[in-house]
Amino acid sequence: MKCIQFILCLLVATTVLRAVPDTCSNVIVPLNVDITRNLTKTLFESNAVPFIQPMVVSINATSNSRLFDGARIPKKVDKPYFRVSVNTMVGFIQDGMKWFKPTLDLGPRTNVGDELTKYGTLKIVDGKPVYTINPNYGDTLGLATSLMNEIFRDALDSSMLILPEKAPTLFGYQPDTRVLLPTTENLLALLRARPEYKVLLASSPSTAAQLDSLVSRLKLNSYLTLPPGANMNVLVAAVPQLEIGSIFGTEIMIRFIPPVEFDKNVGKFAFWGGAIRHSLSQYFPEDWFDMAAQFGYQGTNLKNTVGYTNATLDATATIFNFNLHASKRFWEVLDLYSGISYETISVNSTYTYPLPQEIQLQLGLLPLPPSPGAPSNPDLPCYPGDTSPQSSNIHSAAQNIKWTIGATGIIDAFRISVDYSVSQFNVFTAGIKYTL
């Protein structure tokens, strides 16, 4: 969970640090800031799911482990029994889960002519069309955003905006994975090559000049970088649980971890779950082996504030499991067991995030760090920081078929178990259980 902070930073720009005096020497261009916000949000939302999907797959397989350690459930008992256990899961991350191919989804094409009408007015003066952008900033931003999305699409097609062939997922690791952005000259060339621009240039030069001005005012960074990943090879989890039985060959299992802050980088994490398990072998005519069916439903919640940018995460997951498992007891001290599980997970996350600090530095929202020994005052009012954090709602899901094989040793009231599960994400588990 320490690595969840990487989900919130799908864009990190690189800047050259230089000294800044204690006076306001910066120039903030609102249009540059807002266009950068739009590009940041688009790149974030285009890559958030593939970046975290391996984690979703692994959480699904890991959370659905240790639901059974044998299939014997007594049909009748003199009094209810309670089993308390502590279970540990270790998942092994495969190389294929460490990489993904980045994308930039700019949505469907728009008609620039319609956008001009939406954000400005067209008049006939002395027999010639004259276009004027509406005077309020919202219309200027709306037109610039629509126009830039079209030009970015052209830049992708013409290889002026270059995405890397691969990037690390949360589990992988590769520093300095760059998304190369077009220069202002590239953007102007792409604008002037568009058919509608050529029509405007011939029919309404003033309109073409205004579009030229919009693009020329944009000063983008030369590249952005995707997060390097956490370089993880294993995933470790632990959970306490309680089993209560048995009524008509049926047991109830409960898991629960209250909201706790294990680490300031993790935030407040809560886990809960329950399952009901019913003996099928009680209906067999002979006592060949034990068999049971189980249905489980679990959930998690994570709330976190990440890093110096105060980005916030609120993520909720629901996890489902249905399994059939069987076991055979030997000498009353050993259960060998195996089972097949069908599992699903659905994660809904809300991210609220300002621009990364490096981008704020380049946009003039924050003062650049000084060189050693130079004075600095980061609290100058002309450096407001990002005062309009963005929000994104991300949904991710996974399904899994898992085969588990294991063994349980029985020593008086104790059960000591180990097993191994094979699926998209292989998991080794161990647990110790005490029956009251």
d(CA 139, CA 120): 7
pLDDT of 270 reads 84
In sequence order, what E strands does 249-310 have?
250-261, 268-279, 290-306
Average pLDDT score over the chain: 84
pLDDT of 11 reads 28
d(CA 383, CA 24): 8
| Confidence band for 244, pLDDT divided at 50, 70 and 90 | very high
pLDDT of 264 reads 56
pLDDT at residue 21 greater than cutoff 50: no
pLDDT at residue 166 greater than cutoff 50: yes
b/e sequence 108-142, b meaning 16+ C-beta within 10 Å: eeeebeebbeebbeeeeeeeeeebebeeeeeebbb
pLDDT at residue 377 greater than cutoff 70: no
d(CA 342, CA 320): 8
pLDDT at residue 9 greater than cutoff 70: no
b/e sequence 354-376, b meaning 16+ C-beta within 10 Å: bbbbbbbbbbbbbbbebeeeeee
d(CA 393, CA 315): 10
pLDDT at residue 308 greater than cutoff 60: no
Mean pLDDT of 203-228: 82
pLDDT of 295 reads 98
pLDDT of 22 reads 52
What whole-number percentage of the chain has pLDDT above 70?
89
User: Is 72 within 8 Å of 31 (Cβ atoms)?
Assistant: no
Greater model confidence, 425 or 14: 425
| Confidence band for 100, pLDDT divided at 50, 70 and 90 | very high
**Alpha-carbon separation of residue 352 from 104, 362, 419, 433 (angstroms):** 20, 21, 40, 42
The percent helix, strand, coil of the chain (3-state, each to 5) is 25, 40, 35
Coil, helix or strand at residue 50: helix
DSSP 8-state code for residue 368: P
pLDDT at residue 373 greater than cutoff 60: no
Question: How wide is the angle at C-alpha 40 spanned by C-alphas 34 and 41, nearest 5°?
Answer: 90
Delineate the domains of the chain, giving CATH numbers in brackets: 2-100+228-435 (2.40.128), 112-160+183-219 (no CATH)
| Confidence band for 115, pLDDT divided at 50, 70 and 90 | confident
Mean pLDDT of 169-190: 89
